[in-house]
Amino acid sequence: MKKFNYRRIIPVVFFAIVLAIIFRTVLFASYVVDGESMEPTLYDGNLLMVNKVIYDLKDVDRFDVIVFHANKQDDYVKRVIGLPGDKIKYKNDKLYINGEYVEEDFLDSFKDASEKKPFTKDFSLMETTGSSQVPHDKLFVMGDNRENSLDSRAFGFISVEQLVGKVDVKYWPLSQASFSLGK
């Protein structure tokens, strides 16, 4: 019978722990959802894992769920609706981007359950932001709970520099766990 050598395993375990800590702090951030603005996609108290490096490798996609710095104290989680150059209009509860109707399948269950009609009030970028299209290096974001969301309709565009990252994983509660919350 061979004797187990603990001296060899301790550095390997220590290295693995250090690597995991670096991996988690540099590449990912953990967030707790605070509020109802992203229901039914995210609920108050959900725990999220945010990929902090994804937008260094690729561009933001429409309907990505992102976390961004709203101000020095607060980070918000919202869904990207408008990309640079987009012209956005909401009419009769339908989203039009650059004049074409775009489906928002992620809202179907919430629209059906909502007693308020229309679910999203009519607006255009010009009415809400004073601009006819999303400027270069800016994004137009909205919460999925259109009746109860502080988003770009109120505070305007967000800068790409404000991005923390993309929500890749909802991991708590386990019964609601999911990966990749984009379209």
Question: If you write DSSP's letter for every residue of the chain in order, what string do you get?
Answer: -PPP-HHHHHHHHHHHHHHHHHHHHHHEEEEE--SSTTTTTS-TT-EEEEESSHHHHS---TT-EEEEESSSS-EEEEEEEE-TT--EEEETTEEEETTEEE--GGGHHHHHH--SSSSS--EEHHHHHS-SSPPTTEEEEE-S-TTS--SHHHH--EEGGGEEEEEEEEEESGGG-EE----
Mean pLDDT along residues 74-101? 94
Return the higher-pLDDT residue of 5 and 87.
87
How much of the chain, in percent, has pLDDT values that exceed 70? 86
Return the higher-pLDDT residue of 100 and 175.
100
* Residues listed for the chain: 183
- 4 belongs to a structural domain: no
Question: Per-residue pLDDT for 172 more than 70?
Answer: no
The reported pLDDT for the residue numbered 177 is 58
Catalytic residue among 37, 138, 152, 166: 37
- 1 belongs to a structural domain: no
> Cα–Cα distance between 14 and 144 in angstroms, integer?
43
Average confidence score pLDDT of the chain = 86
Catalytic residue among 30, 52, 78, 152: 78
The reported pLDDT for the residue numbered 121 is 87
- 17 belongs to a structural domain: no
The reported pLDDT for the residue numbered 63 is 95
Mean pLDDT along residues 22-49? 85
Structural domain of 157? 30-179
Q: Write out pLDDT tens, residues 98-111.
A: 999 999 988 877 77
The reported pLDDT for the residue numbered 154 is 92
CATH number at residue 51: 2.10.109.10
Task: For residue 37, indicate whether it is catalytic.
Answer: yes
Task: For residue 166, indicate whether it is catalytic.
Answer: no
The reported pLDDT for the residue numbered 80 is 97
> Cα–Cα distance between 42 and 145 in angstroms, integer?
10
For the ranges 23-27, 64-68, 104-108, 176-180, the maximum mean pLDDT occurs at: 64-68
Q: Write out pLDDT tens, residues 90-145.
A: 999 899 999 999 999 888 777 766 666 777 888 988 888 888 899 999 999 999 98
The domain tally of the chain equals 1
